[in-house]
Protein backbone atom coordinates (compact mmCIF):
# COMPACT_ATOMS: atom_id res chain seq x y z
CA UNK A 1 0.00 0.00 0.00
CA UNK A 2 1.20 3.51 -0.86
CA UNK A 3 -0.25 6.67 0.70
CA UNK A 4 0.39 10.12 -0.79
CA UNK A 5 -0.73 13.62 0.18
CA UNK A 6 -0.96 15.88 -2.86
CA UNK A 7 1.39 18.89 -2.56
CA UNK A 8 0.91 22.32 -4.11
CA UNK A 9 2.62 21.24 -7.32
CA UNK A 10 0.03 18.49 -7.76
CA UNK A 11 -2.95 20.85 -7.80
CA UNK A 12 -5.11 20.37 -10.91
CA UNK A 13 -3.11 17.43 -12.28
CA UNK A 14 -4.60 14.21 -13.57
CA UNK A 15 -4.33 11.36 -11.09
CA UNK A 16 -2.50 9.21 -13.64
CA UNK A 17 0.09 11.92 -14.34
CA UNK A 18 0.75 12.46 -10.63
CA UNK A 19 1.03 8.78 -9.67
CA UNK A 20 3.28 7.86 -12.62
CA UNK A 21 5.68 10.61 -11.54
CA UNK A 22 5.59 9.76 -7.84
CA UNK A 23 5.60 5.94 -7.75
CA UNK A 24 8.76 4.35 -9.21
CA UNK A 25 8.20 1.66 -11.86
CA UNK A 26 4.44 2.21 -11.95
CA UNK A 27 3.28 1.71 -15.54
CA UNK A 28 0.15 3.13 -17.08
CA UNK A 29 -1.05 -0.43 -17.61
CA UNK A 30 -0.77 -1.16 -13.88
CA UNK A 31 -2.53 2.15 -13.11
CA UNK A 32 -5.46 1.10 -15.34
CA UNK A 33 -5.58 -2.27 -13.59
CA UNK A 34 -5.75 -0.53 -10.20
CA UNK A 35 -8.66 1.60 -11.41
CA UNK A 36 -10.48 -1.43 -12.78
CA UNK A 37 -10.15 -3.21 -9.42
CA UNK A 38 -11.00 0.00 -7.50
CA UNK A 39 -7.67 -0.31 -5.70
CA UNK A 40 -7.17 3.47 -5.49
CA UNK A 41 -8.83 5.71 -2.91
CA UNK A 42 -9.03 9.50 -2.92
CA UNK A 43 -9.99 10.94 0.46
CA UNK A 44 -11.31 7.56 1.56
CA UNK A 45 -13.47 6.88 -1.50
CA UNK A 46 -12.63 4.16 -4.02
CA UNK A 47 -12.49 5.38 -7.61
CA UNK A 48 -12.73 3.65 -10.98
CA UNK A 49 -11.70 6.41 -13.39
CA UNK A 50 -8.88 8.93 -13.87
CA UNK A 51 -9.67 12.14 -12.00
CA UNK A 52 -8.30 15.63 -11.46
CA UNK A 53 -6.64 15.90 -8.06
CA UNK A 54 -6.18 18.83 -5.71
CA UNK A 55 -3.78 19.99 -3.02
CA UNK A 56 -4.05 18.05 0.27
CA UNK A 57 -5.99 15.16 -1.30
CA UNK A 58 -5.07 11.85 0.33
CA UNK A 59 -4.42 9.14 -2.24
CA UNK A 60 -4.10 5.50 -1.23
CA UNK A 61 -2.93 2.92 -3.80
CA UNK A 62 -3.13 -0.81 -3.11
CA UNK A 63 -0.23 -1.84 -5.30
CA UNK A 64 0.12 -5.44 -6.54
CA UNK A 65 2.77 -7.73 -5.14
CA UNK A 66 6.04 -7.86 -7.10
CA UNK A 67 5.14 -11.22 -8.63
CA UNK A 68 1.82 -9.80 -9.85
CA UNK A 69 3.30 -6.72 -11.42
CA UNK A 70 2.64 -6.11 -15.09
CA UNK A 71 5.98 -6.35 -16.86
CA UNK A 72 6.53 -4.50 -20.11
CA UNK A 73 8.45 -6.24 -22.87
CA UNK A 74 9.49 -2.83 -24.18
CA UNK A 75 11.32 0.16 -22.74
CA UNK A 76 9.26 3.28 -22.03
CA UNK A 77 11.32 6.44 -22.55
CA UNK A 78 8.58 8.91 -21.62
CA UNK A 79 4.89 8.78 -20.79
CA UNK A 80 2.12 11.15 -19.79
CA UNK A 81 -1.66 11.23 -20.23
CA UNK A 82 -1.41 12.00 -23.97
CA UNK A 83 1.71 10.32 -25.38
CA UNK A 84 3.85 7.23 -24.94
CA UNK A 85 7.42 7.12 -26.27
CA UNK A 86 9.01 3.69 -26.60
CA UNK A 87 12.54 2.51 -27.42
CA UNK A 88 11.81 -0.28 -29.92
CA UNK A 89 14.27 -3.19 -30.08
CA UNK A 90 15.43 -4.83 -33.29
CA UNK A 91 13.53 -7.68 -34.96
CA UNK A 92 10.12 -6.23 -34.14
CA UNK A 93 7.61 -4.63 -36.51
CA UNK A 94 5.76 -1.53 -35.33
CA UNK A 95 2.39 -2.85 -36.58
CA UNK A 96 0.96 -6.21 -37.58
CA UNK A 97 0.90 -9.58 -35.84
CA UNK A 98 3.48 -10.09 -33.06
CA UNK A 99 4.30 -6.38 -33.28
CA UNK A 100 5.20 -3.61 -30.87
CA UNK A 101 1.66 -2.26 -31.17
CA UNK A 102 0.23 -5.65 -30.16
CA UNK A 103 2.48 -5.67 -27.09
CA UNK A 104 1.44 -2.14 -26.17
CA UNK A 105 -2.24 -3.02 -26.53
CA UNK A 106 -1.77 -6.04 -24.27
CA UNK A 107 -0.17 -3.92 -21.56
CA UNK A 108 -2.77 -1.15 -21.89
CA UNK A 109 -5.77 -3.42 -22.36
CA UNK A 110 -7.79 -1.61 -19.69
CA UNK A 111 -7.00 1.91 -20.88
CA UNK A 112 -9.95 3.96 -22.20
CA UNK A 113 -8.10 4.33 -25.54
CA UNK A 114 -5.58 1.82 -26.87
CA UNK A 115 -2.35 3.73 -27.67
CA UNK A 116 -1.74 3.96 -31.40
CA UNK A 117 1.59 4.50 -33.26
CA UNK A 118 1.97 7.84 -35.06
CA UNK A 119 4.77 6.70 -37.40
CA UNK A 120 6.83 3.61 -38.24
CA UNK A 121 10.43 2.48 -38.40
CA UNK A 122 11.76 -0.70 -40.05
CA UNK A 123 11.65 -4.02 -38.22
CA UNK A 124 15.42 -4.08 -37.66
CA UNK A 125 15.81 -0.34 -37.08
CA UNK A 126 15.87 0.36 -33.36
CA UNK A 127 14.83 3.43 -31.46
CA UNK A 128 12.02 5.83 -30.69
CA UNK A 129 8.42 5.14 -31.66
CA UNK A 130 5.75 7.65 -30.64
CA UNK A 131 2.28 6.48 -29.60
CA UNK A 132 -0.79 8.62 -28.94
CA UNK A 133 -2.88 7.74 -25.89
CA UNK A 134 -6.05 9.61 -26.87
CA UNK A 135 -7.94 10.03 -30.12
CA UNK A 136 -7.41 13.79 -29.95
CA UNK A 137 -3.64 13.42 -29.51
CA UNK A 138 -3.49 10.94 -32.38
CA UNK A 139 -5.17 13.38 -34.79
CA UNK A 140 -2.84 16.21 -33.74
CA UNK A 141 0.32 14.10 -34.07
CA UNK A 142 -0.67 12.72 -37.49
CA UNK A 143 -1.11 16.32 -38.65
CA UNK A 144 2.24 17.39 -37.16
CA UNK A 145 4.12 14.57 -38.88
CA UNK A 146 2.37 15.37 -42.15
CA UNK A 147 3.48 19.02 -41.97
CA UNK A 148 7.03 18.20 -40.79
CA UNK A 149 6.53 19.75 -37.34
CA UNK A 150 8.11 16.77 -35.62
CA UNK A 151 11.80 16.19 -36.33
CA UNK A 152 13.29 12.68 -36.34
CA UNK A 153 17.03 12.09 -36.31
CA UNK A 154 18.87 8.83 -36.71
CA UNK A 155 22.29 7.42 -35.90
CA UNK A 156 23.80 5.32 -38.67
CA UNK A 157 27.09 3.42 -38.52
CA UNK A 158 28.31 3.33 -42.10
CA UNK A 159 31.27 2.00 -44.04
CA UNK A 160 33.19 4.90 -45.54
CA UNK A 161 34.35 8.36 -44.53
CA UNK A 162 32.23 11.19 -45.97
CA UNK A 163 33.65 14.70 -45.75
CA UNK A 164 32.79 16.56 -42.56
CA UNK A 165 30.01 19.12 -42.56
CA UNK A 166 26.31 18.75 -43.23
CA UNK A 167 25.30 17.36 -46.62
CA UNK A 168 21.86 17.44 -48.21
CA UNK A 169 21.30 14.83 -50.91
CA UNK A 170 18.41 14.36 -53.33
CA UNK A 171 17.46 11.38 -55.48
CA UNK A 172 14.43 9.54 -56.84
CA UNK A 173 13.18 6.22 -55.53
CA UNK A 174 11.06 3.42 -56.99
CA UNK A 175 9.46 0.81 -54.73
CA UNK A 176 9.33 -2.75 -56.03
CA UNK A 177 6.45 -4.31 -54.08
CA UNK A 178 7.20 -7.87 -55.19
CA UNK A 179 10.86 -7.81 -54.12
CA UNK A 180 10.22 -5.56 -51.09
CA UNK A 181 13.09 -3.34 -52.22
CA UNK A 182 13.58 0.18 -53.52
CA UNK A 183 15.76 1.40 -56.39
CA UNK A 184 17.27 4.85 -56.79
CA UNK A 185 17.91 7.18 -59.69
CA UNK A 186 19.70 10.50 -59.88
CA UNK A 187 17.08 11.86 -62.30
CA UNK A 188 13.26 11.80 -62.36
CA UNK A 189 11.69 8.74 -63.98
CA UNK A 190 8.19 7.35 -64.33
CA UNK A 191 7.06 5.74 -61.07
CA UNK A 192 9.93 7.27 -59.06
CA UNK A 193 9.37 9.66 -56.14
CA UNK A 194 11.74 12.32 -54.87
CA UNK A 195 13.64 11.80 -51.62
CA UNK A 196 15.72 14.24 -49.57
CA UNK A 197 18.25 12.97 -47.03
CA UNK A 198 20.58 15.12 -44.90
CA UNK A 199 23.49 13.82 -42.87
CA UNK A 200 26.59 14.95 -41.02
CA UNK A 201 29.58 13.04 -39.68
CA UNK A 202 29.69 12.83 -35.89
CA UNK A 203 32.77 10.60 -35.62
CA UNK A 204 35.26 8.79 -37.82
CA UNK A 205 37.27 5.68 -37.03
CA UNK A 206 40.52 4.24 -38.31
CA UNK A 207 38.67 1.19 -39.68
CA UNK A 208 37.10 3.31 -42.45
CA UNK A 209 33.76 3.56 -40.65
CA UNK A 210 31.83 6.64 -39.55
CA UNK A 211 28.93 7.52 -37.30
CA UNK A 212 26.39 9.74 -39.03
CA UNK A 213 23.47 11.75 -37.78
CA UNK A 214 20.77 11.50 -40.44
CA UNK A 215 17.59 13.48 -41.01
CA UNK A 216 15.01 12.87 -43.74
CA UNK A 217 12.60 15.40 -45.20
CA UNK A 218 10.69 12.65 -47.00
CA UNK A 219 9.72 9.41 -45.33
CA UNK A 220 9.93 6.80 -48.07
CA UNK A 221 10.35 3.06 -47.53
CA UNK A 222 13.96 2.14 -46.61
CA UNK A 223 14.99 5.72 -47.51
CA UNK A 224 18.01 6.07 -45.23
CA UNK A 225 19.36 2.59 -45.91
CA UNK A 226 18.95 2.74 -49.68
CA UNK A 227 20.07 6.36 -50.10
CA UNK A 228 23.27 5.98 -48.07
CA UNK A 229 24.15 2.79 -49.96
CA UNK A 230 23.48 4.59 -53.26
CA UNK A 231 25.88 7.34 -52.16
CA UNK A 232 28.56 4.73 -51.46
CA UNK A 233 28.16 4.64 -47.67
CA UNK A 234 26.26 1.41 -46.84
CA UNK A 235 24.99 0.94 -43.33
CA UNK A 236 26.94 -1.79 -41.58
CA UNK A 237 24.84 -4.90 -40.98
CA UNK A 238 22.29 -4.08 -43.70
CA UNK A 239 21.65 -7.37 -45.50
CA UNK A 240 19.46 -5.80 -48.18
CA UNK A 241 21.33 -2.67 -49.30
CA UNK A 242 24.73 -3.22 -47.67
CA UNK A 243 27.65 -5.49 -48.50
CA UNK A 244 27.90 -8.99 -47.06
CA UNK A 245 31.68 -8.95 -46.76
CA UNK A 246 31.55 -5.74 -44.72
CA UNK A 247 28.75 -7.04 -42.50
CA UNK A 248 30.76 -10.21 -41.80
CA UNK A 249 33.92 -8.22 -41.07
CA UNK A 250 32.14 -6.26 -38.34
CA UNK A 251 30.01 -9.21 -37.14
CA UNK A 252 26.72 -7.40 -37.67
CA UNK A 253 23.57 -9.23 -38.77
CA UNK A 254 21.12 -6.31 -38.81
CA UNK A 255 21.40 -2.71 -39.90
CA UNK A 256 23.14 -0.42 -37.42
CA UNK A 257 20.50 2.28 -37.63
CA UNK A 258 18.70 3.88 -34.71
CA UNK A 259 16.00 6.55 -34.48
CA UNK A 260 17.67 8.22 -31.52
CA UNK A 261 16.19 11.73 -31.27
CA UNK A 262 12.69 13.17 -31.61
CA UNK A 263 11.93 16.89 -31.36
CA UNK A 264 8.55 18.60 -31.27
CA UNK A 265 8.90 21.75 -33.38
CA UNK A 266 5.33 22.98 -33.71
CA UNK A 267 4.73 26.04 -35.88
CA UNK A 268 0.93 25.87 -35.78
CA UNK A 269 -1.74 25.25 -33.17
CA UNK A 270 -1.09 22.04 -31.25
CA UNK A 271 -4.08 22.04 -28.89
CA UNK A 272 -3.68 19.85 -25.81
CA UNK A 273 -0.13 18.97 -26.90
CA UNK A 274 1.16 22.54 -26.80
CA UNK A 275 3.23 21.67 -23.70
CA UNK A 276 5.43 19.46 -25.90
CA UNK A 277 6.57 22.26 -28.20
CA UNK A 278 10.37 22.61 -28.36
CA UNK A 279 10.90 19.48 -26.27
CA UNK A 280 13.37 16.80 -27.39
CA UNK A 281 13.84 13.18 -26.34
CA UNK A 282 17.17 11.52 -27.03
CA UNK A 283 18.65 8.03 -26.63
CA UNK A 284 22.28 7.22 -25.94
CA UNK A 285 24.58 5.82 -28.63
CA UNK A 286 23.89 2.23 -29.52
CA UNK A 287 26.16 -0.66 -28.50
CA UNK A 288 27.17 -1.19 -32.13
CA UNK A 289 29.22 1.98 -31.88
CA UNK A 290 30.44 1.58 -28.30
The CA distance from 206 to 173, in Å, is: 32
| CA 139 to the chain's CA centroid | 17
Three-state DSSP state, 20: helix
| CA 243 to the chain's CA centroid | 28
Half-sphere exposure of 19 (CA within 13 A, CB side): 29
Q: Which segments of 11-73 are extended strands (E)?
A: 40-42, 45-46, 58-61
The CA distance from 158 to 208, in Å, is: 9
Q: Is 50 a catalytic residue?
A: no
- CB 213, CB 199: distance < 8 Å: yes
For residue 26, how many other CB atoms are within 10 A of its CB? 19
The CA distance from 93 to 183, in Å, is: 22
The CA distance from 235 to 257, in Å, is: 7
DSSP secondary structure letter of residue 2: E
Q: Given the residues 122, 176, 207, 269, select the one marked as catalytic.
A: 122
Half-sphere exposure of 109 (CA within 13 A, CB side): 7
Distance spanning both ends of the chain, measured CA to CA = 42
Q: What is the DSSP string of 94-105?
A: SSSTTSHHHHHH
Q: What pairs with residue 281 in β-bridges?
A: 262
Active site residues: 122
Amino acid sequence: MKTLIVPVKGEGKKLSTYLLSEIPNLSFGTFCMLLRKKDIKINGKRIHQDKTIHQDDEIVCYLPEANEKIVSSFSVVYEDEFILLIDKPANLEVTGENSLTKQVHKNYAHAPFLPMPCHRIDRNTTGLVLFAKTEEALAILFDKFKHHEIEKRYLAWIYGTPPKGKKKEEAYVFKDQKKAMVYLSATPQKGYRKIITSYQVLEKRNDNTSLLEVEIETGRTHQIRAHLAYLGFPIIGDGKYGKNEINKRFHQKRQCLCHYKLTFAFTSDSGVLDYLNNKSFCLKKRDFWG
